Structure 1
Amino acid sequence: MTNIQNGPFIVTGASGQLGRQVIDNLIAAGAGPIIGVSRSPEKLADLADKGIEARKGDFNDPASLSAAFAGGKRLLIISTDDLEPGKRLEAHKNAVAAATKEGITHIVYTSLTNPVEESPITFSKDHSDTEALIKDTGVNYTILRNNLYTDLVLMGGGQSIGMGQHFAAAAEGKTGYVTRADCARAAAAALMQETGSSVLDITGPAALSQGDIAAILSEISGKDIPYIPISTDDLVKAMIGAGLPEFMAKVFASFDEAMAKDYLSVASDDLEKLTGQAGQSARDFLIGNKAALLTPPAQ
């Protein structure tokens, strides 16, 4: 990778799965200095011997963010996972305001594919509004519109294999599944490279239907796993029946609805252009995690 920028690089959500992988990528590239910001900085203690400075910062506590971002140059805002209406956007507002106050010169933000108001995904507007906030700062930015994690297929894929059927409310819609590891590579590259302001679609190399996913699960299991399309209402009822709160069930079902309406049918080469390496295919990822898919879920 050429033209690596000088830090300090600040990674928020640094103790989460994505944040830790971003830091690992920065370390591997020899980038620095690196500051990891977390609500629980003690979880980053093992990185101290690698020169990573851990700071406490909570998007829901604006007073904590000035100190967390102080002296930083290029900042990664990893979107929060708060599903309560309004809380995610309010948290992002606090982070963007602190970034502006502390003189951050470039903001990288992990957004969502097609974050338009019409999207069925319940928190889509939080992302579009956050993108607008960042653009309004006048600071250079890289907005990474990450598609759905292929990693999420592991959660339901094993269950589908166990049942011998793959249920989804996605109709024939397709999704440009991308691995969390590839999203981490993209975020690290965006921090390290100055490309001006841009909006990038971070996806896998191809958009797949749930029928395609069922075919991969069939290949992995050695048995026929048919795809059974169901309605969104039936999916919600099934998840509630499995013990999920109704609010959460509707959030998860909204992803299937977005698939059905092709809001997630995006497969771009932006990841390869940014990092020099194409994303991992869903098939290769799932085959690489065959053991996890074939392990019966804990009772």
Structure 2
Amino acid sequence: MFAITGATGAVGKRVAARLAAAGADQRLVVRDPGRAPTLSGVEISAPAEYADREAIIRAFDGVDTVFLVSASESENRVEEHRSVVDAAVQAGVARIVYLSFQGAAEFCTFTFGRDHWHTEQYIRDSGLEFTFLRDSLYLAGIVSFVGDDGVIRGPAGTGRVAAVAHDDVADVAASILVDGDASGRTYDVTGPEAIGLADAARIIGNACGREITYYDETIEEAYASRASYSAAEFEVTGWVSSYQAIAAGELSKVSDTVDRITGHAPMGLPEYLTRHPASIARLMPREV
């Protein structure tokens, strides 16, 4: 029995669909059962927040393996992850497959990547078997970097990022869940190449038929241009530091994980845009 957390999200719902297609027994662990994907042969938990350990323990009852999708970015994110890990131990779960982040380290540039490192350490110390999937930034995220004015703004310099598609991450996760994996392994999950944001702008522009450009902001400009969102300081720092991590080369490593685990090549940005035209609909030239 698998427990799939974050089953209403971009990766979790894809993993759940792949397990359903494979006929695997699974339970979707969600905050709102009404939003759970409709799949044949799956159980859906009662409402279960990561921070509600007792609810998570009940959701994990009879489960062998948990696919743990990281919580939404918050100041309490690591504590929420620890709550889930503790619940897994108490429920008698044997293994966690955790969706982490490329370059996760105690002092990595991307501040949200540090949350992933602390979570990994907690899982290592829990006594559970584990596999860590460290995915790069998502291709969908790269597209979302483009403002409505057709400009990608951020302090990424000339750095490169091996961005990956949600579908490829889900394919890897489902394969490892179903086929099993030696405990203690960590996999980088990336696209087929590392590209700079100027290249990404050109590719997106070609796909949507308008000029898309990249502006390399200073750190000060990056914080100033995001001030209008009135977001919490930790969140803005996370946004800005994602570009800084690209500049530092911390997201440029290309892995062969998708090819090796799934048997197919990962999508690059051009293929992603072809397969997901809705991702650039807002950027298409408007008829006058």
Q: How does the TM-score come out when normalised to structure 1?
A: 0.87
Aligned partner of 1:130 among 110, 115, 119 = 119
Q: What CA RMSD, in Å, does the superposition of the two structures yield over aligned residues?
A: 1.9
Q: Is the 8 A contact 2:106 2:118 kept in 1?
A: no
- Does the alignment pair 1:79 with 2:70? yes
| 2:133 corresponding residue in structure 1 | 144
* Alpha carbons of structure 1 residues 74 and 259: separation in structure 2 relative to 1, 3 Å: same
What is the CA distance between 1:183 and its match in structure 2? 1.4
| 1:163 corresponding residue in structure 2 | 149
Q: Aligned residue pairs: how many?
A: 281
Which letter maps to 2:6?
A: G
What is the CA distance between 1:246 and its match in structure 2? 5.2
Render the CA deviation track for 1:225-271: whole Å, top value 9, x for unaligned: 34321112212211213x34252332211100111111111210012
| 1:172 corresponding residue in structure 2 | 158
Aligned partner of 1:41 among 30, 33, 36 = 33
* Alpha carbons of structure 1 residues 205 and 244: separation in structure 2 relative to 1, 3 Å: farther
Q: Distance in 2 between matches of 1:204 and 1:133?
A: 28
Aligned partner of 2:99 among 110, 113, 118 = 110
What is the CA distance between 1:294 and its match in structure 2? 4.3
What is the CA distance between 1:280 and its match in structure 2? 0.7
Aligned partner of 1:278 among 255, 260, 265 = 265
Q: Is the 8 A contact 1:240 1:246 kept in 2?
A: no
* Alpha carbons of structure 1 residues 246 and 68: separation in structure 2 relative to 1, 3 Å: closer
What is the CA distance between 1:51 and its match in structure 2? 1.5
Structure 1: unaligned runs, 5 residues or longer: 1-7
* Alpha carbons of structure 1 residues 45 and 131: separation in structure 2 relative to 1, 3 Å: closer
* Alpha carbons of structure 1 residues 289 and 244: separation in structure 2 relative to 1, 3 Å: farther
Q: Distance in 2 between matches of 1:45 and 1:154?
A: 25
- Does the alignment pair 1:218 with 2:205? yes
Aligned partner of 1:52 among 42, 56, 59 = 42
Q: Is the 8 A contact 1:73 1:106 kept in 2?
A: yes
| 1:230 corresponding residue in structure 2 | 217
Structure 2: unaligned runs, 5 residues or longer: none
Q: Secondary structure at the match of 1:35?
A: strand
* Alpha carbons of structure 1 residues 61 and 172: separation in structure 2 relative to 1, 3 Å: same
Q: Secondary structure at the match of 2:27?
A: strand
Render the CA deviation track for 1:211-232: whole Å, top value 9, x for unaligned: 2102202322444434321112
* Alpha carbons of structure 1 residues 83 and 203: separation in structure 2 relative to 1, 3 Å: same
Q: Secondary structure at the match of 1:123?
A: helix
Which letter maps to 2:16?
A: I
Q: Secondary structure at the match of 1:206?
A: coil
Aligned partner of 2:90 among 101, 104, 107 = 101
Q: Secondary structure at the match of 2:11?
A: helix
| 2:18 corresponding residue in structure 1 | 25
Q: Secondary structure at the match of 1:108?
A: strand
Which letter maps to 2:164?
A: V
What is the CA distance between 1:137 and its match in structure 2? 2.5
Render the CA deviation track for 1:27-64: whole Å, top value 9, x for unaligned: 1222x2111111112322733xx121111322111111
What is the CA distance between 1:286 and its match in structure 2? 2.1
Q: Distance in 2 between matches of 1:218 and 1:82?
A: 30
| 2:245 corresponding residue in structure 1 | 258
**How many percent identity over aligned positions?**
29
Q: How does the TM-score come out when normalised to structure 2?
A: 0.91
Q: Distance in 2 between matches of 1:111 and 1:78?
A: 8
| 1:121 corresponding residue in structure 2 | 110
| 2:188 corresponding residue in structure 1 | 201
Q: Is the 8 A contact 1:168 1:256 kept in 2?
A: yes
Q: Secondary structure at the match of 1:181?
A: helix
Q: Distance in 2 between matches of 1:270 and 1:104?
A: 26
